[in-house]
Chain A
Amino acid sequence: MNSFFSQEVPLVFYLLLSAVLFALGILGFLIKRNLITVFMSIELMLNAVNLSFVAFAHEWHQVRGQIFVFFVMMVAAAEAAVGLAIIIAVFRARATLAVDRIDLMKL
């Protein structure tokens, strides 16, 4: 038991988890139609990156990675605030959240 719990999780597992989460985020971003789901997928990608940052920081006993995670979280919070506001505005204007129908950037 001791040997099982005292053993640390190897770095590669963290990284695999991070990669899987990131790929899920990309997938969700690409295939989901609901704007809120797309938004959540972005958050998922950010947190996948955060996970790898923390894992590396722990592995190499360096604090930089963890500091970086704070920054990313902060940006993510700001992004969430702005993004949700935009989503609400879009919904009010168009009464839909389907990404395909929000194509104002088209020429």
Chain B
Amino acid sequence: MSGYLHLWLIPLLPLAGFLINGLLGRRLPKALVTTVALLAPLAAFGVVVTACLSLNPLVPPACVSIPCGPPGWVYNSLPHVQTLGTWINVGTLRIDFSFVLDQLSLVMLLVITGVGFLIHIYSVGYMAHDEGYARYFSYLNLFLFFMTTLVLAGNALVMFVGWEGVGLASYLLIGFWFNKTSAAEAGKKAFIVNRIGDVGFLIGMFLLLANFGTLTFSEIATKLDANPAWMGGVLTATALCLLLGATGKSAQLPLYIWLPDAMEGPTPVSALIHAATMVTAGVYMIARTHVLFDHSPFALGTVAVIGAATALFAATIGLVQNDIKRVLAYSTISQLGYMFLGCGVAAYSAAIFHLMTHAFFKALLFLAAGSVIHGLGGEQDLRKMGGLRKKLPVTFATMTMGVIAIAGIPPFAGFFSKDAILFAAFTHGTLGKALWFVGLVTAALTAFYMFRLWYLTFMGESRNPDAHPHESPWSMLAPLVILAVLSLCGGWVAQGGRIYAFLAPATGAHPEAASGDRLEGILSILAVAVAALGWYIARMFYKEKTERPAQLAAAMPASYKLLANKYYVDEFYGATVVKPLMVTSTYFLGWVVDKAILGGAAWLLGGIATFCGALLARWQSGNIRSYAAWLAAGAAVLLLFIVVPWASVLATLGIHLNMAGR
């Protein structure tokens, strides 16, 4: 039946690439390393596309009846479950290695393998002169292995395997240039902050096991559907624990702090892992477990509030950053906040849609930024750029499309998805109105800081006379062009609500425009208007009156300092979490527990042994005659035991030994 759909191939191909390049990459010629590294994601993408073509709902109904393959060809239908084996089978608990292909994972897989492949191509040019070329590509393939596992997982435990695995790959790639202290520190920071979120995910899984007895997503949904009145606090607790996991992975408040530092990694990594795919795993996880959130209005509201707050918060920080990659990092956090906002107003399909378009334009923006950095020989400071429009024409053209897309100007992709989320928020009760307003403000801020970045990078005159920018090779420009086209066209799938209708079986229906098209139209116009406003202010500040930003910063020194220092959140966490932990570890755990208690106990045992040894050592005098005397004494004692009939001697003294039978 479904013999034509080999889901296990999708993660396995990148894994093979990882093993080949990871184990043998140093000895293989560079061309072969490149071939293997590119073939793995390309083949995985091919498998996903083949899977698409074999699906019932994706081909026109007229064709379904036509047998268009080998004999016995049957179109697959979604969801398609593939169980590879049993992992845990204890009592009533049974957890399988199961992969599920449904509308949700299909969209994710297309994005991951498709955008992933483009970024692999880009990396060939970007990393061409790096010593760790093979190591880099093996990590990248490893990431794809875990990410596809995460997305395909049919139950929470397999998802957790992928979840941890992408964290590992992220850690390895952030710290790719591990000789640089800041990169190594950033890798550790990302890993540790993610651990905090993972605790939430784990507790959520335990709660699921305790209450549902299963981790399989479809079974949980079935059980909840059978008992729709189930709205207890347990569900809320489970959902909130899962949400904590999602905030860690997707860099939301309060665990977003690792993502800006993650920019220490190579730029294509920032594009693939820290913009397009891995950081969206939290959004995917919420969409995947959306039945839980649907049954818990409180948890859903929390998702929405966290999303909106993060979107605004990160956008304000992004206004004043001077590092081109950091601006994009805060923009990513902000856009992820949008996706959370979409999930929080139960518009999961809109969130996934935004995830998809965001993957296109944010990967494009990061890769274009990488092209700029590459062309300037490693310069990341916006203040030292400028006037690159003519020097880097292709990068300029593609990045412009990315900027327009993220700003939300039609007909580019970002407009459609952002608009869908804002509309869903607006129609979601009274809280929704406030969330919508926050989203709208964020949209204006987004347009402002993106155009600020654009003006500072490409417009005006060069502010660094020493720079000799050069355009990147075509292996880097080709992905840019493809992604630019996707950033333009990627949103058109929403025309007539097609993407929502497609995703509906997996994520629930998208809130329809119940109150008529007029409201949606008005909201769209508002969104475009604020985006244009953001662009206008950016143009004023950075093109026409370039002295304005400095004046404004001087006029409001407190606000500017607050933003430039990122609200002092790192410092706050340092003082409230890291410092107490360090103090406790150093003084209590280190000195009291380790040195005093454990060390003392070990010292005591050692001391006793040494003391006894010293006593016995006196015996070992080295004097032969003393040995002989002890030998003789011992022999005499033994002789006494053997020769003297002790039992009868004692008996005569009136002492009877407890002998058997007496």
Contact = CB atoms under 8 A, between A and B. Distances in A.
Interface of A: 26, 29-31, 38, 99-100, 102-107
Contact of A99 (B621, B624, B632): B624
A26 B632 contact: yes
12 contacts: A26-B628, A38-B624, A99-B623, A99-B625, A103-B621, A103-B623, A104-B622, A105-B622, A106-B621, A106-B622, A106-B623, A107-B622
A100 B623 CA distance: 6
B622 A103 contact: yes
Question: What are the 9 A-B residue pairs with the smallest beta carbon separation, nearest first?
Answer: A106-B622, A103-B622, A105-B622, A29-B628, A30-B625, A103-B623, A30-B629, A107-B617, A26-B632
Given A29-B628, A100-B625, 15 more contacts: A26-B628, A29-B625, A30-B625, A30-B628, A30-B629, A38-B625, A99-B625, A103-B621, A103-B622, A103-B623, A104-B622, A105-B620, A106-B623, A107-B620, A107-B622
Nearest to B617: A107
A49 B628 CA distance: 18
Contacts of A103: 621-623
A103 B621 CA distance: 8
A82 to B, nearest CB: 16
A104 B624 CA distance: 10
B267 to A, nearest CB: 66
- Chain B contact residues: over half helix, strand or loop, or mixed? helix
A89 to B, nearest CB: 16
A20 B662 CA distance: 41
Nearest to B620: A107
A106 B625 contact: no
A103 B629 CA distance: 15
Contacts of B620: 105-107
A30 B630 CA distance: 10
B190 to A, nearest CB: 56
A100 B628 CA distance: 13
Interface in B605-626: 617, 620-625
Nearest to A100: B623
A105 to B, nearest CB: 4
Interface of B: 617, 620-625, 628-629, 632
B628 to A, nearest CB: 6
A43 to B, nearest CB: 15
Contacts of A38: 624-625
Contacts of A106: 620-623
Contacts of B625: 29-31, 38, 99-100
Nearest to B632: A26
Nearest to B629: A30
Contacts of B632: 26, 30
Contacts of A105: 620, 622, 624
A107 B620 CA distance: 7
A31 B620 CA distance: 19
A88 to B, nearest CB: 18
Contacts of A99: 623-625
A103 B620 CA distance: 10
B615 to A, nearest CB: 13
A106 B624 CA distance: 10
B391 to A, nearest CB: 81
Nearest to A106: B622
B226 to A, nearest CB: 79
A11 to B, nearest CB: 18
Contacts of B617: 107
Contacts of B621: 103, 106
Contacts of B622: 103-107
Contacts of B628: 26, 29-30
Contacts of A107: 617, 620, 622
A1 to B, nearest CB: 39
Contacts of A29: 625, 628
Contacts of A104: 622
Nearest to B618: A107
B342 to A, nearest CB: 79
A30 B631 CA distance: 11
Contacts of A26: 628, 632
A103 B617 CA distance: 14
A37 B67 CA distance: 112
Nearest to A103: B622
A63 to B, nearest CB: 28
A96 to B, nearest CB: 14
A104 B628 CA distance: 16
A15 to B, nearest CB: 14
Nearest to A105: B622
Contacts of B624: 38, 99, 102, 105
B450 to A, nearest CB: 80
Nearest to B627: A105
A83 to B, nearest CB: 12
A29 to B, nearest CB: 6
A103 B626 CA distance: 11
Nearest to A23: B632
Nearest to A31: B625
A21 to B, nearest CB: 15
Nearest to B624: A99
A38 B627 CA distance: 14
A102 B624 CA distance: 9
A105 B617 CA distance: 12
Q: Most chain-A Cβ atoms within 10 A of its Cβ — which of B617, B625, B629, B632?
A: B625
Q: Most chain-B Cβ atoms within 10 A of its Cβ — which of A38, A102, A104, A105?
A: A105
A88 B620 CA distance: 25
Contacts of A100: 623, 625
A66 B632 CA distance: 26
Q: Most chain-B Cβ atoms within 10 A of its Cβ — which of A31, A103, A104?
A: A103
A99 B621 CA distance: 13
Nearest to A101: B623
A107 B629 CA distance: 19
A99 B627 CA distance: 12
B617 to A, nearest CB: 6
A99 B622 CA distance: 10
A28 B625 CA distance: 10
A102 B622 CA distance: 8
A3 B624 CA distance: 50
A100 B617 CA distance: 18
Nearest to A102: B624
A38 B624 CA distance: 10
Nearest to B626: A30
Nearest to A33: B625
Nearest to A32: B625
A102 to B, nearest CB: 8
A38 B625 CA distance: 9
B550 to A, nearest CB: 81
A38 B269 CA distance: 85
B86 to A, nearest CB: 62
